[in-house]
Structure 1
Amino acid sequence: MPYAITTPEHGTAFDIAGKGIAKTKATEEAIRIAAQMSAPKA
């Protein structure tokens, strides 16, 4: 695959949208790993 894809592990979580209670750690880690995977290789 020529590009990295990230997605939240819990789905869209419409039931908690706008309440400020969503846990973001998994998505933050997925984005960090995708950035590492996308970095130019030496």
Structure 2
Amino acid sequence: MARLEAKTRNMGDDLKRINEDLGTSKKCKRALENLQTKALEAAQDL
């Protein structure tokens, strides 16, 4: 029973880290999309 509780706790910790990484990935994706938009706008001015 104690091993099951430990595994459940570890899985919860892993899930928390995965969710944090997902949030970071989404922020990076948005930043890259914004940079791409700005680059395309700047290229039109050339």
Q: Please, what TM-score do these two structures have when normalized by structure 1?
A: 0.42
More helix by share: 2
Whose RCO is larger (CA < 8 A, sep 6+)? 1
Structure whose alpha-carbon radius of gyration is higher: 2
